[in-house]
Amino acid sequence: MKYLLLKHYRGNPAPVVDYPPMDQWTPAEVDAHMGYMHDFAARLERTGEFIDGQALAPDGAYVRYDGEGRPPVVDGPFPETKDLIAGWMVIDVDSWDRAVELAGELSAAPGPGGKPIHEWLEVRPFLAAPPTVTE
């Protein structure tokens, strides 16, 4: 079963640990945080559970169709948008419980002072292919 672990810049439930943005951490703290993420992905590859991990730049734009023969409308970025996706990891695991366990571990990435930042991650199941035998 594949799950998406989604990390948001904005739109999360209230944070449980108050910490400054990463640009105010010490370089060593930033390294420790990045290293933790990297090691986590490498470990999941070894357990045969890693599918993909990507980070997104915060800037982008909204695009939509604007009628035949006209260029698409490009709008934004909208600073007031409530939700902003920072990146994701896709895992392939045996159960929802395992997905939650792994998301919990990823959320323990260290922040200032090497303490876990307890950040919220959204866990969403992929829609799979339909089974053959249903009746």
Partner 1 sequence: MNESALRELIPAVIGVLVRRGADFASAEDAVQEALIRALQTWPDRPPADPKGWLVTAAWRKFLDQLRSESSRREREAAVTLEPPVGPSQTADDTLQLYFLCAHPSLPPASAVALTLRAVGGLTTRQIAAAYLVPEATMAQRISRAKRRLAGARLDQPGEFATVLRVLYLVFNEGYSGDVDLATEAIRLTRQVATLTDEPEVAGLLALMLLHHARRASRTGPDGRLVPLSAQDRSRWDTALIAEGVQILQAALARDRLGEYQAQAAIAALHADARTAAETDWVQIVEWYDELVRLTGNPLARLNRAVAVGGADGPRAGLAELARLDPTLPRYVAAAAYLHEQAGDLHLAAELYVQAARAAASVAERDHLTRQAARVRQLITA
Kindly state whether residue 128 participates in binding partner 1, applying the rule CB under 8 A: yes
Distance CA 129, CA 23 (A): 42
Kindly state whether residue 38 participates in binding partner 1, applying the rule CB under 8 A: no
Task: Report in angstroms the alpha-carbon separations of 54 from 4, 12, 41, 62, 71.
Answer: 11, 19, 11, 20, 29
Match 């079963």 to its residue by tokens: 1
To 5 degrees, how large is the angle CA 21–CA 22–CA 28?
145
Sole window of 9-17, 77-85, 108-116, 120-128 interacting with partner 1 (rule: CB under 8 A): 120-128
Helix (H, G, I), strand (E, B) or coil at 27: helix
Size of the residue set binding partner 1 (CB under 8 A):
21
User: From the list 3, 25, 40, 50, which residue makes contact with partner 1 (rule: CB under 8 A)?
Assistant: 50
Kindly state whether residue 131 participates in binding partner 1, applying the rule CB under 8 A: yes
Instruction: Return the residues of window 77-116 that contact partner 1 according to CB under 8 A.
Output: 92, 94
Listed residue (109, 121, 86) closest to 32, CA to CA: 109
Q: How far is the CB of 69 from partner 1 (least distance, A)?
A: 28
Binding site for partner 1 (CB under 8 A): 2, 45-52, 92, 94, 125, 127-135
